[in-house]
Amino acid sequence: MKTKAKKPTTKPSREEAENAVRTLIRWAGDNPEREGLHDTPKRVVKAYEEFFKGYALNAETILSRTFKDVEGYDEMIVLRDITFDSYCEHHMVPFTGRVHVAYIPGAQVVGISKLARLVEVFAKRLQIQEKLTAQIAKTLNDVLKPRGVAVVVEATHMCMTTRGVHKAGTVMQTSQLLGLFRSDPRTRQEFFSLLKVGSR
């Protein structure tokens, strides 16, 4: 039986992180003290702060400001083509693509920029695409309490294109359907039809 991995109790210092980068440079076969690489450890650590800023963000807080005065609007809301960059937790190389998010509101809606920010929260972490898809859908469902949520993610993975099988141009698609999108075939069909129309 596998035991659950424990979270590290203390975050390494910036100096420790930079030393780790120097170790990797040496392991790759180069000299971290040569002119072109001398400041690379600092740059890498600074870049990591941006690549993985999602760990410092709270998805529930981002979705906390909602609007109830929508004149009774209760039809599907779709935000297509939210671009994202994330990093595969298996090889720590990028995977990039687009997210399509839809929900059918209950008593409240959220500003569309918040949907894009929600994607960013989970994309800016070490990820796998399946988990990213589920996290976006579950959080939107838990916080807004809509009548249905649908999330589709399309991405290209550099662990497929630059290493291993070297298959350029491959695209992985994942989806998570909750509420009416799962239980009502007509709602589901409408959503996927809207995605097809938008891609023309």
Catalytic residue set: 88-91, 129, 157, 159
Distance of CA 81 to the CA centre of its chain: 13
Residues near 126 by beta carbon (within 8 Å), at least 6 away in sequence: 52, 87, 88, 89, 92
**For residues 171 and 173, what is the distance between their CA atoms, to the nearest angstrom?**
7
Q: First and final CA of the chain: distance in angstroms?
A: 49
